[in-house]
Amino acid sequence: MTKVIDFQTDPSKYRHWKVEYDGPVANLFMDVDETGGLFDGYELKLNSYDLGVDIELADVVQRMRFEHPEVKVVVMQSGKEKVFCAGANIRMLGGAEHSHKVNFCKFTNETRNTYEAALADSGQNYIAAIKGACAGGGYELALACNHIMLTDDSTSSVALPEVPLLAVLPGTGGLTRVTDKRKVRRDLADVFCSIEEGVKGKRAKEWRLVDEVIPNSKFDETVKERARELAANSEKADVANGIELTPLTRDFTEDAITYSTVEVTMYREGRRATVLIKGPESDAPKDMDAFTSEGAEAWLLRCARELDDAILHLRNNEKELGLIEFQTQGDPEKVIAHEALLLQNKDHWLAGEVLQYWKRLLKRVDMTSRSLVAIVEHGSCFAGPLAELLWSVDRSYMMLEEFDGDNRPTAAITMSDGNFGTYPMGNDLTRLETRFLGTPEQVEKLKSSVGEALQADDAEELGLITYAYDDIDWEDEVRLFMEERASFSPDAMTGMEANLRFAGPETMETRIFGRLTAWQNWIFQRPNAVGKEGALQRYGTGVRGKYDMERV
Amino acid sequence: MTKVIDFQTDPSKYRHWKVEYDGPVANLFMDVDETGGLFDGYELKLNSYDLGVDIELADVVQRMRFEHPEVKVVVMQSGKEKVFCAGANIRMLGGAEHSHKVNFCKFTNETRNTYEAALADSGQNYIAAIKGACAGGGYELALACNHIMLTDDSTSSVALPEVPLLAVLPGTGGLTRVTDKRKVRRDLADVFCSIEEGVKGKRAKEWRLVDEVIPNSKFDETVKERARELAANSEKADVANGIELTPLTRDFTEDAITYSTVEVTMYREGRRATVLIKGPESDAPKDMDAFTSEGAEAWLLRCARELDDAILHLRNNEKELGLIEFQTQGDPEKVIAHEALLLQNKDHWLAGEVLQYWKRLLKRVDMTSRSLVAIVEHGSCFAGPLAELLWSVDRSYMMLEEFDGDNRPTAAITMSDGNFGTYPMGNDLTRLETRFLGTPEQVEKLKSSVGEALQADDAEELGLITYAYDDIDWEDEVRLFMEERASFSPDAMTGMEANLRFAGPETMETRIFGRLTAWQNWIFQRPNAVGKEGALQRYGTGVRGKYDMERV
């Protein structure tokens, strides 16, 4: 699987999803093209999915927010008879490398989180309307919806058959959503997860696995009615027209990707990449009308889309680059002005969407299992949303005072009001609150420095950066750090960073990425699942997996 | 490593720890006998430890509570010059099977949690007094103390060198306690965990890694002073005499272990074990004086010690028995009466200690990575603390109505006040609160049934059990469940149960066992750590581990 995975798509290219817009209701049909797998060697039968299917879904969800703000309810349903979705494709999983399995689950999890939060974030409510078998990843698609409707017939059921059938865990938050979102009683959850054929009818409702069970004859009608009802009761403001998410401008070369606002440079020998974000060149649009007419060209939206694509590319296509260095370049005041327009117009639908997107994007950075560092050079613009990167990374290095021959403006960090609540992490705290968990009074104190250009000595004193170095030490210290990081075991780094980055409270989201994912990754290496005689390899052969029965 | 590991010891057998009692202060010296390893093939140099050393520590901590209730402050220190503790023995880890590594970390974690909670639970405060190198598991020993004192000299430091040195994570809660207990800023934590030689002096205090840094010349005196101070300010009541924890009565045969109140039977072909707990035969002691004079013979204490030992034995010595069935036999009213005496006298030191011990023991059951089931037969006594087992297990089966030829009293469950707060889980909720997370009103409703003998139909209706079966179905249903469970992949079971058992909020404790442990277990299988060229294998050879640099 060395093909480059592209995370950009648009409706003209969809092979697996179809959307029919009906005023405030969007009917989203999953109708997977069997022959449309991202890689060779498997067919996507029974609406099973691979990463390619999920990339399209992520695109649907994203466009729903920006291009179709009129939508208040999305009804997720199957375009096929007799099956809702059979889950992740097993042959794909059986043939995939460990790292692809892990990255696949991470991306699908991020997509689930995104449409699950669409109601709270943007007033778009996802309903799952289940007819036919809904198993494994299929039920996880439904679990991330906020209302689950199941038809009551002999072939329709919900199931998490991974454990009995495949010797792995449901990989997309299933166990956590069953206990923590649906709040299914734990012994019933245990039974449910042991039954290959799943649970149907009344019992599915009694066990809290679905919200409604509806006679087959009335199902379609009831789903329509429920969608209309939820749309009518929605508090989402009416918006007539969205903006178009036009194709990104990208240029790939051997060791670089150039976007309009982001430049990725790959240093393969040093096992690292720099991600340079260029601040806006023009002034902020004067009002939201001006912002809206810029559409996808508006700097904050364009930059978010480009950075998002760059992160996904590095994660999935450049696995040997263990260190990502964030750099910025530009005028911090302009960054602050561009953000300020949106902060002042939070109630404007598009301002809200762009800020929410930055929230999601920054969470994606937090969840990226590479060592992350911010390099704050002269001429940089770590301000507002870009300043969040300083507290998303594992460490930061900042230039102190003048550097010989460097006439760029002295490095400074500028906080905005946005840094105090607009971009919460998965743990529901701001990055500053997480950073100063031991000294919460420091977060209050920092508020008085909003808008100030804080140079390295002040930034270090305030705890905003890890290290400040002057011209004499800078190069050596940064180089030593990079060399050190490149020498460590990537696995130990992944584990260490997954534990150090998310101090404080856990949420359903952090539990999915922390507890559930870690256990799944463990199982994804065990011979009982992935060995020659393991269940994933033997699936479909008619022979069950052969297990080492030792409990660990 | 097929030697049977015995979790029972007493001070006459200690090889690694020494305690000097000085009124309310106990000085606890770690002085590991290099030649006293539990297995062959390694020497316990530099106060490094293996499971045997930790079994002694767990015994010290337990006896401190029961035999030395006069102790208010325990000062953990090294009995060796120049080294506090070098952490878990690397050669032992390098040579150990995956399952031993995992079980070793689990037990050491449980021990750390126990003395960490001793202050809140029993008013015994653990201080770490660090002179010399304190690295890895050594610093984790200190982190679980509630006050850390470090001497300020050139050779004394605290360190978590696992990542750079061994390509694994600190395995005993280190990362979680650094971020969540000590609340070290995350980028400083990142730096700290990357420095092999650790951090010393003033910086250790500034980074919140220790509470006090004291000049070498004043160290011993300051430690004494601090211990006296903390003892003087302690709210722990003065208790003159403890009770002796006399040796357990045990009899091991090939397929059974017989204690006075617990009987373990191993069915190796079915890969399961039954743990039968026998209720008290005599009436409850009439008051706490009577209870105290029974000492370690008192049923509730004896039963807890025996059950604890049985669980530890099964976990560590019987890894192929994937299913543990809890059964009870006896008079539920007597169980309730024995517990009631303690509940009514919670302020009596010994009543408090026995109840706290049941809390710890039940957490140990929750954390046992075997499938757990309660089999509620006629003649059983699932009441009060024993009823907690019903909600600790993954599922429960209960006999419904009369069984042909069975003249034992009809199966019934009896709740006590103790079930509503005395034995919280690691997530700080009661087992009933966790069970009814989706219907919290049910917990309130259950309170009105306290003291009632609830037969199977009522118990099922109230949600207290999973299944009730009558004489016709019982045998088949229970057998089918056992066969099904024995057919599943043990790894998938471990992952599934670790996720389903701990719904609701996360605490530092559940984070350590969930997030941190899962990542550590993942790393413990990765070639970068445990492969032929991995860091654990190469440790001490002068050659660094050779790593696959792909990030996952």
CB < 8 Å to B271, chain A: 549
Of the candidates B187, B500, B503, which has its C-beta nearest A466's C-beta?
A: B187
Alpha carbons A143 and A138: distance in angstroms, whole number? 9
| Beta-ladder partners of A398 | A376, A468
Q: Are strands A25-30 and A73-78 parallel, antiparallel or unpaired?
A: parallel
DSSP three-state, residue A224 = helix
DSSP state of B418: G
Q: Alpha helices of B462-549 — where are they, by DSSP H?
A: 474-487, 490-500, 508-511, 517-523, 527-530, 535-538
Q: How many CB atoms lie within 10 A of CB A10?
A: 14
Mutate: best of B176, B522, B524, partner A, most A CBs <10 A: B522
Q: Do domains A11-232 and A251-499 have the same CATH topology?
A: yes
| Domain boundary assignment for chain B | 11-232, 251-499
Of the candidates A494, A500, A544, which has its C-beta nearest B190's C-beta?
A: A500
Q: Do B320 and A552 touch (CB under 8 A)?
A: no
Query: pLDDT by residue (tens digit) across B111-155?
Result: 999 999 999 999 999 999 999 999 999 999 999 999 999 999 999
Average pLDDT, chain A: 96
Query: pLDDT by residue (tens digit) across A73-82?
Result: 999 999 999 9
How many residues can be counted in chain A?
A: 552
Of the candidates B208, B396, B489, which has its C-beta nearest A529's C-beta?
A: B489
Dig out the tokens for B182 from the structure. Answer: 């000590």
Q: Do A500 and B98 touch (CB under 8 A)?
A: no
Helix axes B349-366, B332-344, angle to 10 degrees: 120
Residue type (1 letter), B330: G
Q: Do A528 and B552 touch (CB under 8 A)?
A: no
DSSP state of B428: S
Q: Is the separation of the CB atoms in B108 and B172 below 8 Å?
A: yes
Q: CA of B303, closest CA in chain A: separation in Å? A: 26
* Chain centre to alpha carbon of residue A179: 22
- pLDDT-based confidence at residue B2 (cuts at 50, 70, 90): low
Dig out the tokens for B34 from the structure. Answer: 């290099």
Query: pLDDT by residue (tens digit) across A213-249?
Result: 999 999 999 999 999 999 999 999 999 899 999 999 9
Question: What's the whole-number mean pLDDT along residues A356-369?
Answer: 98
| Complex confidence, ipTM | 0.94
Alpha carbons B139 and A503: distance in angstroms, whole number? 19
CB < 8 Å to A544, chain B: 487
Alpha carbons B33 and B53: distance in angstroms, whole number? 9
CB < 8 Å to A322, chain B: 549, 551
Alpha carbons B305 and B58: distance in angstroms, whole number? 13
DSSP three-state, residue A170 = coil
Alpha carbons B150 and B7: distance in angstroms, whole number? 32
| pLDDT greater than 90 at residue A545 | no
CB < 8 Å to B551, chain A: 99, 319-322, 369-370, 490, 493-494
Q: CA of B70, closest CA in chain A: separation in Å? A: 33
Of the candidates A491, A515, A551, which has its C-beta nearest B518's C-beta?
A: A515
**Residue A515 backbone zone (phi > 0: left; psi -120 to 50: alpha; other: beta):** alpha
Query: pLDDT by residue (tens digit) across A281-327?
Result: 999 999 999 999 999 999 999 999 999 999 999 999 999 999 999 99
| Residue A343 CB burial class (10 angstroms; 0-12, 13-18, ≥19) | middle
Alpha carbons A16 and A55: distance in angstroms, whole number? 10
Q: Do B492 and A523 touch (CB under 8 A)?
A: yes
Alpha carbons A206 and A204: distance in angstroms, whole number? 6
Please tell me which residue of chain A has the smallest CA distance to B394.
Answer: A187
Alpha carbons B9 and B14: distance in angstroms, whole number? 7
Dig out the tokens for B364 from the structure. Answer: 């140990």
Q: Do B490 and A548 touch (CB under 8 A)?
A: yes
Q: Are strands A395-399 and A382-383 parallel, antiparallel or unpaired?
A: unpaired
Question: What's the whole-number mean pLDDT along residues B524-542?
Answer: 91
Q: Is the separation of the CB atoms in B109 and B517 below 8 Å?
A: yes
Percent of chain B past pLDDT 70, that is, above it, reads 100
CB < 8 Å to B103, chain A: 552
Q: CA of A462, closest CA in chain B: separation in Å? A: 12
Please tell me which residue of chain A has the smallest CA distance to B104.
Answer: A552
Dig out the tokens for B405 from the structure. Answer: 């030829």
Q: Do A488 and B163 touch (CB under 8 A)?
A: yes
Cβ neighbours of residue A202 under 8 Å, at least 6 residues apart? Answer: A152, A213
Alpha carbons A268 and A265: distance in angstroms, whole number? 9
Alpha carbons B487 and B525: distance in angstroms, whole number? 23
Selection from A49, A57, A60, A55 nearest residue A7 by Cα: A55
Q: Do A190 and B504 touch (CB under 8 A)?
A: no
The pLDDT score that the predictor gives to residue B423 is: 98
Please tell me which residue of chain A has the smallest CA distance to B437.
Answer: A183
CB < 8 Å to B522, chain A: 491, 495, 518, 521-522, 525
Please tell me which residue of chain A has the smallest CA distance to B371.
Answer: A551
Which contacts (CB < 8 Å, 24+ apart) does range B343-348 have? B343/B416, B343/B417, B343/B418, B343/B422, B345/B287, B345/B288, B348/B288
Q: CA of B480, closest CA in chain A: separation in Å? A: 12
| Beta-ladder partners of A266 | A273
The pLDDT score that the predictor gives to residue B171 is: 86
| pLDDT greater than 70 at residue B45 | yes
Q: Do A435 and B183 touch (CB under 8 A)?
A: no
Cβ neighbours of residue A380 under 8 Å, at least 6 residues apart? Answer: A327, A328, A329, A330, A332, A411
Q: Do A515 and B516 touch (CB under 8 A)?
A: no
Alpha carbons A495 and A147: distance in angstroms, whole number? 35
Average pLDDT, chain B: 96
Please tell me which residue of chain A has the smallest CA distance to B535.
Answer: A489
- Indicate the CATH number for domain A11-232: 3.90.226.10
Cβ neighbours of residue B121 under 8 Å, at least 6 residues apart? Answer: B352, B356, B359
- Indicate the CATH number for domain A251-499: 3.90.226.10
CB < 8 Å to B520, chain A: 495
Residue carrying the six token digits 């001793």: B118
CB < 8 Å to A316, chain B: none
Dig out the tokens for B262 from the structure. Answer: 């617990």
Alpha carbons B201 and B212: distance in angstroms, whole number? 9
| pLDDT greater than 70 at residue B1 | no
- pLDDT-based confidence at residue A487 (cuts at 50, 70, 90): very high
Q: CA of A106, closest CA in chain B: separation in Å? A: 11
CB < 8 Å to B488, chain A: 163-164, 167, 194, 547
Q: CA of B520, closest CA in chain A: separation in Å? A: 7
Alpha carbons A377 and B34: distance in angstroms, whole number? 52
- pLDDT-based confidence at residue A2 (cuts at 50, 70, 90): low
Question: What's the whole-number mean pLDDT along residues B311-332?
Answer: 97
Percent of chain B past pLDDT 90, that is, above it, reads 97
Instruction: Give me the half-sphere count of Cα atoms (radius 13 Å) on the Cβ side of residue B102.
Output: 26
CB < 8 Å to A486, chain B: 549
Query: pLDDT by residue (tens digit) across A85-142?
Result: 999 999 999 999 999 999 999 999 999 999 999 999 999 999 999 999 999 999 999 9
Q: Do A506 and B511 touch (CB under 8 A)?
A: yes
Please tell me which residue of chain A has the smallest CA distance to B182.
Answer: A438
Alpha carbons A257 and B216: distance in angstroms, whole number? 56
| Dihedral over Cα of B480, B486, B492, B498: its sign | positive
Query: pLDDT by residue (tens digit) across B493-519?
Result: 999 999 999 999 999 999 999 999 999
Q: Do B187 and A396 touch (CB under 8 A)?
A: yes
The pLDDT score that the predictor gives to residue A542 is: 85
Size of interface A-B (CB pairs under 8 A): 285
Question: What is the distance in angstroms between the CA of the first residue and the CA of the last residue of chain A?
Answer: 32
Of the candidates A499, A504, A505, which has its C-beta nearest B175's C-beta?
A: A499
| pLDDT greater than 90 at residue B540 | no
The pLDDT score that the predictor gives to residue A112 is: 98
Dig out the tokens for A378 from the structure. Answer: 């002269």
Q: Do A394 and B184 touch (CB under 8 A)?
A: no
- pLDDT-based confidence at residue A1 (cuts at 50, 70, 90): very low
Residue carrying the six token digits 């460097």: A406
Q: CA of A354, closest CA in chain B: separation in Å? A: 28
Of the candidates B166, B322, B494, which has its C-beta nearest A549's C-beta?
A: B322
Mutate: best of A522, A539, A546, partner B, most B CBs <10 A: A522
Q: CA of A263, closest CA in chain B: separation in Å? A: 22
Q: Do B186 and A501 touch (CB under 8 A)?
A: yes
Of the candidates A175, A522, A547, which has its C-beta nearest B525's C-beta?
A: A522
- pLDDT-based confidence at residue A544 (cuts at 50, 70, 90): confident
